[in-house]
Amino acid sequence: MGFLVLIVRIMGRISTFRSYQFVLLLAATLAVIAFYYFGSERHSFSSTTKRIRQTQESDIFRSRKGSSEAGGQLYHALMMFTKVDRSRSLQDKFRVAMLSMVKLAHFLEGEVLVLHFVSDQASQELGQRMLQEFLQDAPFKYEVSIIFHDVVELTQKLFPIVEAMQKHFSAGSGAYYSESIFFLSVAMHHIMPESLTRIVQLDLDLKYKTNIRDLFQEFDKFPPGAVIGITREMQPVYRHTFWLYRKENPKTRVGEPPPEGLPGFNSGVMLLDLSAMRASTLYNQLLKPSNVAKLAEQYRFKGHLGDQDFFTMIGMEHPELFYSLACGWNRQLCTWWRDHGYGDVFQLYYGCDGPVYIYHGNCNSPIPDD
């Protein structure tokens, strides 16, 4: 059939479009009308044709069992995209992430990569422009769909669920309402439609070294009872954070390096089995404020890294909820703790054998060139 048609669906209010965006939307609408008027076969377009049209969220979630309208699989990936308009650094990171992702991605005919962005209005407008630049001339053989979610709307849904846990895992600024969005992964199964069954959440400061489709195949390796796939933390962050518990329990594995220790998790790359999260009585019990407080007291825990802290803490008690991704899927590059009191043990945490699939330039670490 030749090249698949690339569909870039950009969600946004028409009233916020600038003139050139409106022209693009009008042209896309005419193209869609022409498509249905002259024929509905996908190969009726030339191999270089790309359609751009506006899409509502329901168009994605209406498909049965995660399948696209063409009968293929939908692969959902979500990124936080707030305040990007104010930061050249975040824009540069986003450019590296997207260009490396789309360059190496390969999907089967009928499969669709659905990219979700949680964004404020100003960042959404910037993101639309950047994505058009990145995707317009890309030599794709697969389809991409793009959805922007309003950060305010998601925060309103999240806050009642995660408010009680934020005092244990936030930086202490007191701006708990606005910080709720950093716990999105914890409760995403409650606020996304039930038709969305699996999603990968990704940081912006990543560089992809392999086909992202392969990451989604890791879902099939989850053991019974697991709801989240995640890599271990590659710095002694939790050796430090659990210091009081470790002092009171000198023989504990908590905070110790791999392979025998429990170094905690890093949330830069996460596989969220939303169906399993909804079905897990244990996981949903752990979300209750009383149980969060009980574990935080048991482990003398006070963190500042949001969802990562929550997953790390419950993972100490219930490791069966987690599937351990190979470190190469989230090869963290930050070395901050090496120079801040843990140089003698740093390499025990930092080492990662095997191939690198995704580099994570956390704490503004430079990512190796190709």
The answer to the question of residue 84 being in a domain is yes
Give me the pLDDT at residue 140, please.
Answer: 72
The answer to the question of residue 119 being in a domain is yes
Give me the pLDDT at residue 335, please.
Answer: 97
Q: Environment class of residue 56 by beta-carbon count within 10 Å: exposed (0-12), middle (13-18) or buried (19+)?
A: exposed
Distance (Å, whole) CA 168 – CA 303 = 6
Half-sphere exposure of 285 (CA within 13 A, CB side): 7
Is 265 within 8 Å of 315 (Cβ atoms)? yes
pLDDT tens track for 241-270: 999 999 999 999 999 999 999 999 999 999
The answer to the question of residue 338 being in a domain is yes
The answer to the question of residue 44 being in a domain is no
pLDDT > 90 fraction of the chain, expressed in percent and rounded: 71
Give me the pLDDT at residue 13, please.
Answer: 38
Task: Answer with the residue of higher pLDDT: 147 or 14.
Answer: 147
pLDDT band at 177 (very low <50, low <70, confident <90, very high): low
pLDDT tens track for 186-239: 999 999 999 999 999 999 999 999 999 999 999 999 999 999 999 999 999 999
> Does residue 157 surpass a pLDDT of 60?
yes
The answer to the question of residue 52 being in a domain is no
- The mean pLDDT of 105-112, rounded to a whole number, is 93
Give me the pLDDT at residue 178, please.
Answer: 58
- The mean pLDDT of 286-306, rounded to a whole number, is 94
Give the distance, in angstroms, between the CA of residue 274 and the centroid of all CA atoms in the same chain. Answer: 13
pLDDT > 70 fraction of the chain, expressed in percent and rounded: 79
CATH of the domain at 145: 3.90.550.10
> Does residue 85 surpass a pLDDT of 70?
yes
The answer to the question of residue 156 being in a domain is yes
pLDDT band at 34 (very low <50, low <70, confident <90, very high): very low
> Does residue 31 surpass a pLDDT of 60?
no
Task: Answer with the residue of higher pLDDT: 142 or 349.
Answer: 349
The answer to the question of residue 140 being in a domain is yes
Give me the pLDDT at residue 135, please.
Answer: 86
Q: What are phi and psi of 321, to 5 degrees?
A: -80, -10
Is 215 within 8 Å of 76 (Cβ atoms)? no
Least confident of 6-10, 120-124, 172-176, 258-262: 6-10
The answer to the question of residue 333 being in a domain is yes
Distance (Å, whole) CA 95 – CA 135 = 11
Task: Answer with the residue of higher pLDDT: 25 or 370.
Answer: 370
Is 141 within 8 Å of 4 (Cβ atoms)? yes
pLDDT band at 312 (very low <50, low <70, confident <90, very high): very high
Is 97 within 8 Å of 204 (Cβ atoms)? yes
- The mean pLDDT of 130-159, rounded to a whole number, is 90
Give me the pLDDT at residue 141, please.
Answer: 80
Domain with 90 in it: 73-360
Task: Please count the structural domains in the chain.
Answer: 1
Identify the three-state secondary structure at position 342: coil
Mean pLDDT of the residues in the chain: 83
